[in-house]
Amino acid sequence: MLGPGINIRRTPLAGRGYEYYAEDPVVSGDIAAALINGLQQEGVGASLKHFAANNSEYRRTEMDSIIDERALREIYLAGFQRAIAKSRPWTVMSSYNRLNGVQTSQDPFLLTQVLRDEWGYDGLVMSDWYGIKDRPASLLAGNDLAMPETRRDKQTLLAAIHAGEVPMAVVDRACLRMLTLLDKVQRHRRPQTQADFPAHHALAQQLAAESIVLLKNDDNLLPLRAECTRRIAVLGKPAQEPVIQGSGCATTVPWLLDRPLDEIFDLAGDDFSVSWAIGAPDDLRSDPQALAEARAVAQAADVAIIFVSTAVGEDGENGDRQDLNILAVHEQLIREVATVQPNIVVVLANSDAVVMPWISECKALLETFFAGQGMGRAVAEILFGKRNPCGKLTVTVPDSLEETPAWLHYPGENLRHHYGEGLFVGYRYYDKRRMTPRFPFGFGLSYTRFAYRDIRLSASRVGTDETLTVSFDLTNCGECEGKEIVQLYVSAPVGELIREEQALKGFCKVSLAAGETRRVTLQLPVAELACYHPGLADWVVTPGRWQIRLGSSSRDQALSAEVEVDCPPRYVPLRDDNSLQQLIQQPEAFARVVALIARKSQRPPAQIRERLIQLAPDLFCGLLIALTEFLALDIDRDELNAALKGTE
């Protein structure tokens, strides 16, 4: 299977955002790993894609994604690394774009240094369709399979092999990987397997129900109750023609499709009276007669359920969204109905976040995104309380397009797309800016309430090779069964590098009966607290007191505790043009320089140390100038640098 795709949802404008999981690499990596393991356990190989930094569709085969190495590793590669470590996909697919000047399908840094040498991946790497521009270069970089292999590819590769530009060892290695994959496919063949389509559809309904997010429920309008909302008006074309997926190569034809209107009629039975009006039959033009009919139907009801969507076909491959609006005719429908009906439920179908200037007109809001063939039944069951919504947002919903992190940089210019927000993607950006979005990352309501109590850590002090156990009591305080997605966030102590305010490090779904309390435990490997230090070209854990927080979203965390991470600080090697202040911040290097000065000047080390500390605030110049000009010491550049590096 050519999936899963786990590119970060950096901007809600991205056309293929609906194919990807989240704005966060932990969510992306963990969900991808679960899918890959499920597929491959049943003998179906997965192709993890698109590697890497293919985060929008605008001129995707030409665009150069310019990303600093820290953001690249912590945000855009981290999900791939996590998925590969937890699932070992049979193949990895390279992307179309360039990355920092190099075509990703021909990038030895990505395909060999990172993927194979650092992460230990031993499967096959393949290109996206016609994604290779230089076949010999791609093979040398570690791209084993060109899809499809064109006549020109074969000719240029054969010529390069004959010319000795591509060693036979490289060819043999790629061939071995291909043969290994073919053998794996053959060994996992199950020709007698019979597809159970009804069971698959039931699973699609369950998946849809557990992914739909209840964003608003004023006055507990939902679930619908016959004693107060017996007369139901269903409005909007998507109730009859549900929008369940985007366009492009991920589009599939469902074996069975649940229509929300049919499912609402089915579940309403004799307890409710259901009426229907389309309201907006044309996606592009308002229809006054249809609007008038919708108003009349809504006015005669106790509650109006309005199905709305973004433009069908705009969300997909090779094209990005132009704005974050729902269809204008759908917004008009909401506003018109609101003039005659105070109890409105809006059911959204969209690829990614939308702006909601109409939200005050509705009391309840269900976000389905693109929920697949079982969406209709899932929505109906949630509306009538047959299922309790438990989905959480994996993206932040902004108030406007202009407040999104990538707004100033999208879509790039001159074929260069600078990811100027760095690692501050999604909730990291809103947290750092102290901004309140429309709905935060991780948010989602339920028909019940959950209480978090009694957080405990397995240790108060841990090393980087240990795993911290975090446990707490979770109670369902309501009157119905429910599922809560618990989220674990961490905040780093102040260190040398700029950090996000918090980062998600784990999550789990817990099912509780009404009134039930359960002790919930999450594991946090301390090594996962590391950030990438470009100056050291390595992952580094900041020592000090870390805050551990548990809650129901990135902005609602009921419990917190602190743990001391015990590890030696690591420093970027100093140079002779660093300042005296910087030297003092590195105790070992400072001691070596003090010892050097003591040898050269015959003065006591304690006296030298005190003098340097006294001078440091007033000296902005480099160390060599400070020591030779201001302290009149006879020290040359080589011996100073040797002391700084510890190579005397």
The residue type at 319: G
Q: Taking Cα atoms as reference points, which of 81, 83, 91, 82 lies closest to residue 114?
A: 81
Dihedral sign, Cα of residue 184, residue 190, residue 194, residue 199:
negative
Q: Which of 395, 409, 382 has the alpha carbon at shortest distance from 354?
A: 395
What is the distance in angstroms between the CA of the first residue and the CA of the last residue of the chain? 57
Q: Please state, in angstroms and rounded to a whole number, the distance separating the CA atoms of residues 356 and 437.
A: 11
166-172's contacts with Cβ under 8 Å and 24+ in sequence apart are 166/136, 166/139, 166/140, 170/139, 170/140, 171/139
User: Is 92:123 a contact under the CB 8 Å cutoff?
Assistant: yes
Question: Could you tell me the two tokens for 15?
Answer: 């056309």
DSSP state, 115? I
How far from 102 is each of 87, 138, 380, CA to CA, in Å? 28, 11, 49
Structure tokens at 136: 């010999």
Sheet holding 303-309, edge to edge: 213-217, 364-367, 344-349, 303-309, 231-235, 273-277
Positions marked active-site: 128
* CB-CB contact of 83 with 31 (8 Å): no
160 near 106, Cβ under 8 Å?
no
DSSP string, 356-412: -TTGGG-SEEEE-SS--TTHHHHHHHHHTTSS------SS-B-S-GGGSTTTTTTT-
